[in-house]
Structures are given as C-alpha cells and as structure tokens.
C-alpha cells in the first residue's frame, strides 16, 4: 500500500504538528484515492521507474482496458502529488502529458464524455419512493445537498443540525474534491430529504458516527441500483447533474446554484445544466 503520510515522503523530518498540517492539506478520501491509484501503477510498472515513459505506458494499458478518462486523470494527479511531497521533479513529462490528452480525447470520442445522465425532480421522487429508508435518505440527501458520493460517505451525525427554516436541516461538508482546505461549506435539505435523514438517525446517536455507514463506492452502487429498480439509468453523480439542471429549469440563476458551494465556477454549472447563505440558497427557494 502506498504510504502518502507526509513524514514518509518529505525530504526532511517534521514535527508531529507539521505532519498533521501537511496531511490535512488534502482530504482523507483524496489521499485514499491517490494511494490506490499509485498502488496499481507501481504494480504495473513492476519496479521500473515512475518516469515519463513509464507513466505513458501505464496510461496505454488503462486505455486498452477501457478505463475512463477520470481514471487516467487520477493517476496523473497522484504521481504529481507523491513527487511534490518527496521534493522531486514532476515525473509527468511531454510523453505522458500527450498520452493523457489523447486518452481524454479518445474517451470523449469512443466512450462518450462520461457525463452522468440527468434525471428530473419527478424521477428523483419516484426513485426515492421505491427505496428502503437508508437508500431513500441517500438519494434525497445527495440530490438536495448536491453531494458527491465521497462527501456523502464522509458525513457524520455531528455535521447535521436543525436549520432556522421549519422542517429543514443544515449539512456541513467538512472537505471535498474542490475544497481541500475545509473552508466553511454548508448545504441545506428540507421536507422529504430532512425527514428521510431523521428516519435513519439512531435514538442514541454517536455524533462522530457515519451517517450512512458506507464507503463512497457502496453509496454509488446503491444509488445506481435504486435508480434501476425504478426504471432509470443513473449514477450517484446524477444527483449533482440533476440539481443543476432542475434549478435552471425552475428559474434559478447560475449564481444561486454556485452559492450552494457545490461548484466554484459558472462554467461547471452551465455544463451540468446544459442536457448558501445556507438557508437562503436555491434549494430553500425552489425545491
């Protein structure tokens, strides 16, 4: 298993306090994803150096295996992260860089853009209506709070508290793919989504306990399975795509969608919607 602990990688010893700060510069989910990608890369290279040509060759094996462009991008990010921690030059040179660009182009042309299919509000409700209590909470919370599956997996009960709006809950996302530093990020769920969350909360809940008790991959599989049972093709990421497209359809502005802190650029909102103050955001107004 790749050890991405800073004290094992940085060129000079650091104190435990500094070690913690370096470790906290990226989320635990990101570190796990990087470690997994590096384990697979190192096993494929079989003691050969992780250099420009080796990385390019590995991308070729991923392409031949039909892996997604996102998988290739994860490898590039992981090797750069490891090299940076170790104080080494960027191992991604012109060969690997061109291979990565070709991988992404081929992915778009041959396997599609990889965009999760958008649903609509009625579809989300129909899927949730045919779910177990746990899956209902997953589907509705991921949609209304616009959560990635890794963010849903990281939720703890201490991250959920009553909101000032009747029947609503505030959800604090402590760190995410686009918020590695853990800047304040509060989402809102209300009505059915709030009731679904409260329905699965134990009476003697441990504040530090996981809300869903599942990994991100398990959440993704359960979301897709729930959609399939209701007759829809969807992935966990469809919740975020649907959030953007439905808010746009209902008249919300790009700025209102961005205020949910789910996206950092207007371009991504526009991309998803093409096909807060937390209690004054688009969810509270329109859904």
Q: How many domains are contained in the chain?
A: 2
**Number of neighbouring beta carbons within 10 Å of residue 57:** 16
Residue 116 lies in a domain: no
Same domain for 139 and 215, yes or no, is yes
**Same-domain status, 48 and 89:** yes
Do 106 and 146 lie in one domain? The reply is no
| CA dist., res. 192 & res. 136, Å (int) | 9
Within this chain, do residues 100 and 190 fall inside the same structural domain, yes or no?
Answer: no
Per-residue confidence in pLDDT tens, the chain, 287 aa: 565 644 344 445 567 777 667 666 667 777 888 888 999 999 999 888 899 999 999 999 888 887 778 788 889 999 998 998 888 999 999 999 999 988 877 655 554 445 567 788 889 999 999 999 999 999 999 999 989 998 999 999 999 999 999 999 999 987 666 555 556 688 899 999 999 999 999 999 999 999 999 999 999 999 999 999 999 989 898 888 888 777 777 777 767 766 655 555 555 555 555 543 344 566 666 66
Q: Is residue 1 part of a domain?
A: no
Which of 81, 110, 139 is the last residue in one of the domains? 110
The reply to whether 148 and 255 lie within a common domain is yes
Q: What is the pLDDT of residue 33?
A: 83
165 and 216 in a single domain? The answer is yes
Question: Looking at residue 6, what is its pLDDT?
Answer: 43
Which pLDDT score, from 0 to 100, does residue 278 have? 44
**115 domain-assigned:** no
Is there a single domain that holds both residue 22 and residue 74?
yes
Classify 171 as helix, strand or coil.
Answer: strand
Residues 173-180: contacts with CB within 8 Å, 24+ apart?
173/145, 173/147, 173/261, 175/27, 175/28, 175/29, 176/27, 176/148, 176/150, 176/151, 177/27, 177/30, 177/148, 177/150, 178/263, 178/264, 179/261, 180/25, 180/26, 180/27, 180/30
What Rg do the C-alpha atoms of the chain give, in angstroms? Answer: 20
How many residues in total does the chain contain? 287
Q: Is residue 61 part of a domain?
A: yes
pLDDT at residue 267, as a whole number: 53
Regarding whether 90 and 132 lie in a shared domain, the answer is: no
- The CATH number linked to 52 is 1.10.150.130
Whether residue 12 sits in one domain with residue 51: yes
Last residue of a domain, one of 57, 90, 110: 110
pLDDT value of position 145: 92
The span from the CA of 249 to the CA of 51, in Å, is 47
pTM: 0.59
CATH number of the domain residue 239 falls in: 1.10.443.10
On whether both 83 and 164 belong to a single domain, the answer is no
| Neighbouring-strand partners of residue 190 | 168
Residues spanned by the domain of 21? 6-110
> Could you give the CA distance from residue 244 to residue 273 in angstroms, rounded to a whole number?
5
User: Final residue of a domain: which of 52, 75, 110?
Assistant: 110
Report the b/e string of 136-149 with b at 16+ CB within 10 A: bbbbbbbbbbbbbb
- 102 and 126 share a domain? no
């Amino acid at each position: 298993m790749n050890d991405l602990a800073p004290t094992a990688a940085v060129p000079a010893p650091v104190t435990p306090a500094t070690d913690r700060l370096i470790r906290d510069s990226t989320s635990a989910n990101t570190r796990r994803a990087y470690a997994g990608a590096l384990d697979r890369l190192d096993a494929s290279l079989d003691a050969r150096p992780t250099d420009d040509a080796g990385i390019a060759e590995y991308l070729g094996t991923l392409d031949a295996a039909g892996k997604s462009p996102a998988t290739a991008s994860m490898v590039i990010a992981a090797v750069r992260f490891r090299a940076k921690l170790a104080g080494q030059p960027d191992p991604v040179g012109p060969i690997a860089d061109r291979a990565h660009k070709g991988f992404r182009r081929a992915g778009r042309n041959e396997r599609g853009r990889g965009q999760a299919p958008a649903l609509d509000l009625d579809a989300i409700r129909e899927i949730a209506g045919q779910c177990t209590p746990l899956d209902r909470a997953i589907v509705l919370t991921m949609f209304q709070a616009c959560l990635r599956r890794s963010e849903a997996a990281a939720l703890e009960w201490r991250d959920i508290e009553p909101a000032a709006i009747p029947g609503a809950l505030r959800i604090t996302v402590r760190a995410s793919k686009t918020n590695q530093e853990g800047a304040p990020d509060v989402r809102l769920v209300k009505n059915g989504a709030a009731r679904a969350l409260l329905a699965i909360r134990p009476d003697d809940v441990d504040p530090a306990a996981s809300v869903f008790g599942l990994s991100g991959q398990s959440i993704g599989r359960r979301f897709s399975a729930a959609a399939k049972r209701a007759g829809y093709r969807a992935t966990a990421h469809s919740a975020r795509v649907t959030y953007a497209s439905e808010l746009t359809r209902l008249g919300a502005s790009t700025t209102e969608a961005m205020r949910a802190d789910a996206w950092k650029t207007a371009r991504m909102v526009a991309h998803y919607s093409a096909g807060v103050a937390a209690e004054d955001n688009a969810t509270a107004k329109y859904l």
